Each structure stands twice: as C-alpha cells, then as structure tokens.
Chain A
C-alpha cells in the first residue's frame, strides 16, 4: 500500500508506544521515507542537539512504494542526527525489514528518549511492546536475530539490530537488518545504541495493496517500469552478474581508485579484489568466492553478493562459524577494506566484511579509518606498541586483526571506532582524515572524477556517493557522458543528481533503479499509488525541497561553507598516475557556481527567495 497513514511514537524513557496519524499534508509535500521523516525530524529536534543525548530522535521510515510490487520496493531509511558527523543523517537499507514494517500497518517509527536499560521493540501487527533486551546486550547482530526469532517462535520475523559496535559507541556503527543489509553510514547505529535500543523485530500479516490509489494503473505502471529494468543492459545483466564490484577495474583504469589513504589513485592489486575475481575458481578448493547473487524485497535487479571464504585462509582457520555463505563483497566494502589500505587479499576482505555485518559497523568508514591509521603508522606517529601489531599499508593481518578489535571494542579498536577525523585530530594530523564533515570518502578519488569532489563536499550527510552519484554520468555515461577531468558544468550536474536522488530516497525504491529509470519512470508508479496529483514538476520540486530542508538543518546545527570542502591532499597533491595525472580537485572553483545554481548566498545559505519558492 502507499501510506498506512499511521506511525508509532515510542518514548524509550517512559516506555510508551503510541499510535499517531501520519500528517497527510506533509506527505503531499515530502512524499515519504527520507523526505517525510526528515520533515518530522527537523520539526521536532533542536539542530544543536548532541547526537548521543536522549533529546536526539531516531526515525525508521518507509516510503509509499515500500512493500508494494514496485521493483526494489523494499527500502527503509533511518533518519537522525548522525553520531559520526553531527549533521542530518539518512541511511537507507534494503532487505525485507522495511516491507515487513509496512505489512504490519506502520509507515514509520519515531524513537525518542533513552531506555534505562537495554530493550528491543516487538511489533506483531498492532501488538507493539518494548521488551527487555538484557540477554541480547553484548550479542552480535547474527546472534540477536537468531535469539529473537527463536523466542518469538517465528522464523519469518524481520529484524534490524545493532551489534557490539553500536553498543560500545563506535562512531560509525550501523543498523543491520536481515543479517546482511545495513543502514550503514553516519553512525545511525551509534545513536540507537546510545538509546539502549538493541533491536526492532517486526512481523506483519496485513499485506499490501489496500490503499493503492488506482490498483489497475499501478500494476500497469510497475510492470512497464520492470520491463525498463529488465531491458536495460546494466540493471538487466551487468548488476545481477557481477554486482557493484565490477567497478573495481573500471575505476582503477580511470585512475580514480583511492589507494593507501588517497596517496595513490591506482591500485596494483585491483584485479585481485574485483568482481571478475569473485567468479574465479580458487586453487585451494576449486570453488569460486561468489556463491550466488541475491535480491532484496521486490527487487528485479538482484545486485547483492553472497560469498564464501576459503576455509584454508589464515583469517578463518579454526573458525568454522565463518565458513558458511554470507553477504558481500560489494564494491564500496571491497574498496574500503582493500584498495584504501593497499590490501589485495580477497579472502581477508570478505572476512573483515563479515565482521562489519556481524557486529554492525560501516565498512567504508572503518576501512578508511584503518587507512588513516596505516598512514600514521607509516609516518611513525603511531607505533606497533600503540596499535598492538605492525600495521603497514598492504597488511591483511593488520586489517583483520583491527576489524576484530573494533568489533569487540578492544585495544586499538576503541581508537579506530572514533573514525578517521577524530583519530587523526587526536594524533595531531587532522589533514590525513580523508572525508567531509567527519565522514570518510567512498570509493572514488575526486581528482579523477571532478564532479564527485563537489558532490562529496556538499553532501548533507558528509562524504557520500549516494547523495549525488555523478559517477553515473562522468564514468558510465548515464544518462549522458560528461568529461570526468573537467569542472565545467559540474555544479548543475551535481544539483541534478542530488535532487533526483532525494525523490527516489523518498519513494521507497532503490537508487540503483536510476541506472535505467529516470523520474519519468518513477512518476507513473507514484501517481498511481499515492493520493494526490504526482506530476513530474511536483516531484522535481520535492527533490529540491528535501535537499534544502536538510541544508537548513545543517546550517542551524553550525555547519558553514567552510565545511563544504575537501581535505588538502585532494586540493594540493596532484594525482600521480593515470588520466588525472597532475590534476587536483577543483572544488574551490565549483563551489561558488553550485551555491549560485542552488539559489544560495555566497556563504552557502539558502536565500529567502529560494526557501519561499520551495515552500520551506
């Protein structure tokens, strides 16, 4: 169904769980998921709030297409003030949890306050209760899901939870659902842990379809849109066959693969950790690393990877619990755990990735923080004694040991759990943190893909590829090819991607559909599903409105134009090899153009005219 028109408000301090009607006037302006939940958040939360205080709120939210037959309609998001960034956070996840929440009759859950002791929220349709989670505290995500399902005697419950990373305050902790999917970035799991909320378990039996505005038109629109995905070579063949990790060789050839904490832009072992390598038979057991691809709820793309670690690999010898098939590797994790640290050992990367899923921490921020630590070690600022072992670039042993330490909150893992910005500042070298707004970069070096530098710098949740993925245009030619090595035209390109992504993130579908879909493919699905007249113009305005709403919150939280910037390395140290050899990122040139295109002042503040035009 589109909207259930009701949501849960859970006060963890008092233990109350109340039903509230969804504000349908707001739904017409902000649609759902990212847009609508952020509207609730900015209306209810002081921008200056400490992310870890009880006054911060955490919203789990679905979109109007979540739980429907629309392709990829299984998404849900977590909106809060990020523990890693101090900025607005919206982390999006697939799997099955979001659809189950809709089936239970809820559009979203607003958590406020802080529980006096660990609890989890149990939802079985209208039966909602906070339960004691003392027996779950200290357990991994994998253990938590199993224990809850057994205690409810219901293997079909869908669960999202934090692992030990979220409990111990790792700044980049995730909320993991369905074992392998995660609301991964900005430390949303850290906020959940600070609230003593271990998990949310949902079972919904109400199904979907009851509130679709025009069911017949909706079926026709979703069918047509699925055909677009199936007929498109990327979403119909490329992503299901090789997954996102196929980008490893592409980005490396283009000289935009950040390597060894962005010292280099090409990785000599990129092929060893690529999507192609995932398919190859291992000499040890004759099996390929990749077991199968996998799909989230309602998805007709199925880009997910399920892999099995070589049982003879040193990382898992005598650890049979890691010999089974598990989620990963995806491109971002493979890059952050691999190239970012100079580690070209596919098995080690998968083991570290499983640890990230198991104990709920973001592999991008973790891997990039290890990269920063390895550079500090290389410079002699951190020693073997401080870290607990030798940690040179390229050490798979260091990578997996540090992942174990971070998962358990032991030794140097506690320092890694600070994230790279706080770690590098602590050791007097803040410039070595490769990120924006304290959030680490993903897998594209902006010296080789100029538009991404602006997209990172201006992302409302800190450095991120999923807020404005100009890689699609600059590298892959979607929807049109642009030159990755120039800054001209990138302000408009970044804005267009940011606004369009805001719409998809508010609808309940996956942003990967945009490799084939445009807003023109999404619009008929929304218009058939949702009350109101959902025109292209309305959706375009909605995307811009959501972006500016987030910006206004961040400005009020204390962020300024100075925070829309890149680390000095990317502005002063030219790429050493590849097509971008000799280039730095031109963010200082692009930023003023971007502010102008956005209708913001030179200081990065939306003007009154812009806010009025957007109804903010």
Chain B
C-alpha cells in the first residue's frame, strides 16, 4: 500500500532530505500502519505532534493509536502553530 506522509514547520527536519523540499514523502508499505506507528517510526517528539490531519480531516489525539491508514491516504502533521 502507498501513503503520503507530510511534516511541516519544525517537524520537517524529521523527514529524510529527499522529502524536505516538498514536505512530503511517499511511503510504500507492506502493512497498513496506524497514525501512532508512523509517528514512532519517524521519531517525532510527542510534544511537537499537535495538528494531525488525514486527507485534511482532523484526527483527535485519542484516535491516533487506533486509526489505520488506508491505501492512498495522506497523513500530515504540524507542531503547535497559528496565524491570522
């Protein structure tokens, strides 16, 4: 299965170099991971994992351990940010 993994702002440093230019990495995986499994795989500090979206839809913290990514989905994560 293929998923797109995106990290933004200060989290983009946790992407391999080939992903930093686009903030995105295409992952070809044998098994469907949960959100938390991908967070762990890329060693993202827990306090920096703030806004988590799958295909633009918010994933609450309590659902991240059980939410399994489906083929073709995009997981995007931000640290605490804001604007206006």
Among A244, A245, A254, A481, the residue within 8 A (CB) of B56 is A254
- Answer whether residue B27 sits at the interface, using C-beta atoms and an 8 A cutoff: no
Known: A253-B56, A271-B23, A578-B56. A247 touches B8 (CB 8 A): no
Known: A276-B8, A579-B55. A244 touches B60 (CB 8 A): no
Known: A249-B23, A255-B56, A579-B55. A234 touches B10 (CB 8 A): no
Among A238, A330, A475, A477, the residue within 8 A (CB) of B9 is A238
Whether B8 contacts A238 by the Cβ 8 Å rule is no
- Answer whether residue A288 sits at the interface, using C-beta atoms and an 8 A cutoff: no
Point out the residues of chain A lying under 8 angstroms from B23, CB to CB. Answer: 249, 271, 276
Whether B80 contacts A246 by the Cβ 8 Å rule is no
CB distance from B84 to the nearest CB of A (A): 5
Give the 9 A-B CB pairs with smallest separation, nearest first: A244-B83, A233-B80, A247-B83, A238-B81, A579-B56, A331-B83, A234-B82, A246-B81, A234-B80
19 new A-B contacts at CB < 8 Å, known A242-B10, A249-B23, A478-B82:
A234-B80, A237-B79, A237-B80, A238-B81, A239-B82, A241-B10, A242-B81, A246-B9, A249-B8, A249-B78, A250-B81, A254-B56, A255-B56, A276-B9, A276-B12, A476-B51, A477-B50, A481-B60, A515-B82
Chain B residues packing against A (C-beta within 8 Å):
6, 8-10, 12, 21-23, 47, 50-51, 53, 55-58, 60, 74, 76, 78-84
Known: A276-B8, A579-B56. A512 touches B84 (CB 8 A): yes
Point out the residues of chain B lying under 8 angstroms from A237, CB to CB. Answer: 10, 79-80
Query: Once the chains are docked, how many angstroms separate the CA of A276 from the CA of B15?
Result: 14
CB distance from B34 to the nearest CB of A (A): 20
Q: Which of B50, B55, B60, B78 has the most CB of A within 10 A?
A: B78
Chain A residues packing against B (C-beta within 8 Å):
232-235, 237-239, 241-247, 249-250, 253-255, 271, 275-276, 280, 330-332, 465-466, 469, 471-472, 475-478, 481, 483-484, 511-512, 515, 578-579
Point out the residues of chain A lying under 8 angstroms from B8, CB to CB. Answer: 246, 249-250, 276
Query: Once the chains are docked, how many angstroms separate the CA of A235 from the CA of B80?
Result: 9
Known: A271-B23, A276-B8. A246 touches B56 (CB 8 A): no
What are 30 A-to-B residue pairs whose CB atoms are below 8 Å? A233-B47, A233-B50, A233-B80, A237-B80, A238-B9, A238-B79, A238-B82, A239-B83, A242-B81, A244-B82, A244-B83, A246-B9, A249-B23, A249-B76, A249-B78, A250-B78, A253-B56, A253-B74, A254-B53, A255-B56, A271-B22, A276-B8, A276-B12, A465-B84, A472-B82, A475-B51, A478-B82, A481-B58, A578-B56, A579-B57
